[in-house]
């Protein structure tokens, strides 16, 4: 089931994100791709440990924590920071299957990325 959660961020927050992301230092998105999906991934990504990625990720996590619809609909045990991706000039993420397990940067922690009931 997909759950539509409108206005997680305010218009001012979205404008702030746009301003910050327009001046960010992007790197090759293949860094977080698995062996198979790296063949299909052609985009750019903010490094997970960059100041901008951490700041914007914290804003998103804070907004989700305060959103009753998200909390009751997803019932998360933990929510991990988002990844920020950029697609320019014909870049795309072709046909692929997302990795079921994600490593958490800077830790030995690995998590399942799917939601199961």
Rg (alpha carbons) of the chain, rounded to whole number? 15
CA distance 111 to 2: 21
Which tens digit of pLDDT belongs to each residue from 41-83? Answer: 888 899 989 999 999 999 999 999 999 999 999 888 888 889 8
Question: What residues contact residue 88 under an 8 Å CB cut-off, 6+ apart?
Answer: 44
Distances (CA, A) of 59 to 5, 39, 73, 80, 83: 16, 32, 20, 12, 13
Full set of structural domains in the chain with CATH: 11-112 (2.60.120.620)
pLDDT at 115: 55
Q: Is the confidence at residue 108, as pLDDT, over 70?
A: yes
């Amino acid at each position: 089931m997909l759950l539509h959660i409108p206005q997680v961020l305010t218009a001012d927050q979205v404008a702030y994100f746009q301003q910050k992301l327009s001046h960010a230092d992007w790197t090759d998105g293949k860094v977080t791709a698995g062996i198979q999906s790296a063949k299909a991934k052609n985009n750019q990504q903010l490094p997970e440990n960059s100041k901008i990625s951490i700041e914007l990720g914290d804003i998103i996590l804070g907004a989700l924590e305060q959103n009753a619809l998200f909390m009751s609909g997803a019932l998360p045990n933990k929510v991990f920071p988002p990844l920020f991706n950029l697609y320019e000039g014909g870049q795309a993420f072709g046909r692929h299957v997302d990795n079921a397990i994600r490593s958490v940067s800077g830790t030995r922690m690995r998590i399942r990325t799917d939601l199961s009931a």
